[in-house]
Each structure stands twice: as C-alpha cells, then as structure tokens.
Amino acid sequence: MAELPATDTDLRAEARHLLSLWETLSRQHISMAAGCACGAGGVTLLLEDFEQDIADYLLGEAERNKRVEVIAFLRAQAFMEDTQLWSLSCLLKGLIDEGGTVQPSPEVSSGLLKRLGRTLSSFAKLHGSGD
C-alpha cells in the first residue's frame, strides 16, 4: 500500500516535535557541567560539533544529489552568516514558519524532517531522553 503524502500541517507538527526534542537535548547539555561533552570509546563529541556535523551532512547530501531547492533552503534558513555556523533550531523553525523568506516544497520538508528525525531520535536515545 502506498504511503499518503504528508500535509503541510503534518510537516509543521513534525518540525515542532523535532525542535522540542533538539531544545531538550540542548538544555540537558547546558544544565550539565560547563563544557559538557559526550564520549564513547575515547571519542568526545560536543553538542555544538554534532549540530555542525548534522548540517554539513544534510548540505553535502543535497550537493551530491544536486538538490538545488534543499541547498537554497539550508543556506537561507540554517546558516548564520555572522558566526559562520549552522543552526538546527533555525532550520526547524524555518520548516514550521509559513511566512519565511524561503519556503521549501513539501517534498523538501519531508526529506529533511525524515533525516533529522532519525538522527535526533538516535541521539536522544543514546542520552536516555527517549523519544
């Protein structure tokens, strides 16, 4: 049976859910000792590094697949020129906001949310936040 396409309302609801999850993960890291880093097997990962890696992955995948609309949305919505850093909060807020400067198609929104959903859910489970 074919999966029904998600509506704009469904996509915004999923983006709100992921934004809430990301904010929860961020608060957990901030509430821990300053300079909190997670590590396993001798590998240390700062939440800020993880955020940059996620965004770099999304952009790299879009560039490899020549997804011009995804690239434009990511650069317009998630890249902060003043700091030269990516912001997942800004990205997710852009997927929620109907009046944003760059409006992604439902296909673009759905693809980004699917990738972010898997990644953030895994990270939350790793940190005992569940999802």
Q: Chunked in runs of 10, what are the mean pLDDT values of the chain (131 residues)?
A: 68 94 78 46 61 94 96 94 93 84 86 95 75 49
Per the structure, how many domains does the chain have? 1
The pLDDT of residue 32: 43
Alpha-carbon span 24 to 46, nearest angstrom: 15
Domain membership of residue 77 as a residue range: 45-131
Considering the domain boundaries, does residue 21 fall inside one?
A: no
Alpha carbons 110 and 90: distance in angstroms, whole number: 16
Give the closest residue to 73 by CA, choosing from 61, 59, 52: 59
Q: How far apart are CA 30 and CA 77, in angstroms?
A: 24
Q: Are strands 79-80 and 43-45 parallel, antiparallel or unpaired?
A: unpaired
Q: Could you tell me if residue 60 is inside a domain?
A: yes
Q: Is 113 a member of any domain?
A: yes
Alpha-carbon span 77 to 125, nearest angstrom: 27
Give me the pLDDT at residue 99, please: 64
HSE (side-chain half, CA atoms, 13 Å) at 90: 17
Domain membership flag for residue 20 = no
Q: Report helix, strand and coil shares of the chain as percent, to nearest 5.
A: 65, 10, 30
pLDDT for res 117: 95
Please report whether residue 109 resides in a domain: yes
Please report whether residue 67 resides in a domain. Answer: yes
Neighbouring C-beta atoms of residue 56, cutoff 10 Å: 11
